[in-house]
Structure 1
């Protein structure tokens, strides 16, 4: 499907380009039940989300990205672009 359009909340670039995919097909959602301490790994192009934290405890997340040595960051002000994708 290619790069999907995203909304951009006014959060001083926090989650810019990674929040609020527009026109997502919610009928294709898959729910994954997890227990405290569980870990979930997925492909970075998988549309994903966790919903609101409804507990009194912190939710921790770690995001790790790997790229080949020949990859380069986009030039210019990439935050101003509605979609950013660099493929090596």
Structure 2
């Protein structure tokens, strides 16, 4: 991952611009083209560096919150994780 990729991800997740053309604004901030922003985000998604593209809400600010845990046999962990990850509402899924 390049320094530019890291800067793009940082801007993307922490200060996504609320503009009519947000990707063009990200490009302006990083001194690159809008098409390069889109291409780099696509590459990062395909490489698995980005798990999903969409909003992440602060649960307490909208009055909801859910934390769920599953006890899964080790031999089924990958299968269950893959199933859980199919739900677009899930934005964090990890083993403890």
Larger Rg: 2
Give the alignment's TM-score, normalised by structure 2.
0.29
Larger strand percent: 1
Where relative contact order (Cα < 8 A, 6+ residues apart) is larger, the structure is 1
Give the alignment's TM-score, normalised by structure 1.
0.30
